[in-house]
Amino acid sequence: MSEKWVFIINPTAGNNFAKEYADKVKEMIRLNKVDAEIAFTERKGHASEIAKAFVKKGFTYFIAVGGDGTFNEMARALVHNLDVVAGIIPAGTGNDFIQILGFPNRFGDEDWKIFFKRNEKTMDTGSCNKAVFFNGMGLGFDAQVAAENYNVEDGVKKGGSDKYIWHILKTLLFFEEKKAVIEYNDTKEETDCFINTVSIGRRFAGDFFLTPKAIADDGLLDVCMIKKLSLSQRLKILLQVPKGNHINDKKVHYYQTDKLSLEFKEMVPFHVDGELFFDSRFDVQIAPASLRVIYNPRGNHFFSQSI
């Protein structure tokens, strides 16, 4: 099989950082002597279209240059096709997915060297109502924050980190939990939920380790369900999330499953790898070992220890 590479660059990622980073990508392609083409995305969903076209051309390596959304768009066209390999050069703002692969939020010279060694792993992927995710999806508080920070009409985030922090604070004060019927592992219950995070990875929004036990190739989804909280309880638990200590709180239910469903009485926001949607019924499941990826075996990756 031909080992041709395509680098799919989202020029608007990272507040246009990816556009400026394109020259560095071209330099690394040249230095590492790989047979590669570069394609720039022009609109929402374009990375998927590009990936599908290059699969038909027989390309082997598909590299997103951007953030989690760019990778999601590209890689959803590659799921279940183990003849191809996906990778990411992080150039977005959050870059949560990259922690699964053991690389930092921005590449240094050593990271480029490791990347082009092409160490590979096969990881699990998830889906919610047929929307594929590679890091995770969420309902409740974090989805409402995303909704506050998102222009639904054009699919563009409203602002930078300062506005994001403001939306977190506002939502922390005024968010109202909604009742949902949840089914998982032969259990069915109704509860008011502050957060429902379902994941392959561990990290969200840069510093929030909502599912700190997640392993990306164990065939299971990690679920962090936090029940209805008072304002003081919200503050207490959210301060514990960066270190993953919140899972010891009695208000937090943490479990693993291969599928689950949630149903609300009304439409609510939910995010899939940072992309915002709305629905009232959610069917979530895992597809084990369904995507080949380039990872850093020396990094702090979240795969099983078997090589």
Q: Are 256 and 220 in contact (CB under 8 A)?
A: yes
Rounded Cα distance between 108 and 90, Å, is 11
**Which segment, 60-64, 168-172, 243-247, is predicted with the most confidence on average?**
60-64
Q: Assess if residue 268 is contained within a domain.
A: yes
Verify that 161 and 223 share a domain, yes or no.
yes
Q: Quick check: 81 pLDDT over 80?
A: yes
Q: Please tell me the predicted confidence (pLDDT) of residue 163.
A: 66
Residue 139 and residue 96 in one domain? no
Q: Are residues 135 and 278 in the same domain?
A: yes
- Residue 154 structural domain: 131-286
121/135 same-domain check: no
* CATH number reported for the structural domain that contains residue 21 in this entry: 3.40.50.10330
Any domain includes 304: no
Query: Do residues 117 and 139 both lie within one domain?
Result: no
> Do the beta carbons of residue 217 and residue 121 sit within 8 Å?
yes
For the chain, what is the domain count?
2
pLDDT at 1 over 50: no
The C-alpha atoms of residue 80 and residue 86 are separated, in whole angstroms, by 12
Q: What share of the chain is helix, strand, coil (3-state, %, to 5)?
A: 30, 35, 35
Confirm whether 211 is domain-assigned: yes
pTM for the structure as a whole: 0.91
Looking at the fold, whether 156 and 272 belong to one and the same domain comes out as yes
Q: Which residue has the higher pLDDT, 159 or 127?
A: 127
Lowest-pLDDT choice from 158-162, 166-170, 287-291: 158-162
Residue 162 banded pLDDT, cuts 50, 70, 90: low
Between CA 91 and CA 96, with CA 93 as vertex, the angle to 5 degrees is 90
CA distance 255 to 210: 12
Q: Is the per-residue pLDDT at 150 higher than 70?
A: no
pLDDT per residue as tens digits for the range 178-222? 999 999 999 999 999 899 999 999 998 777 899 999 999 999 999
Residue 10 pLDDT > 70:
yes
Please tell me the predicted confidence (pLDDT) of residue 38. 98
Strands 120-128 and 131-133, by their bridges, are antiparallel
C-alpha distance across the termini of the chain, in Å = 23
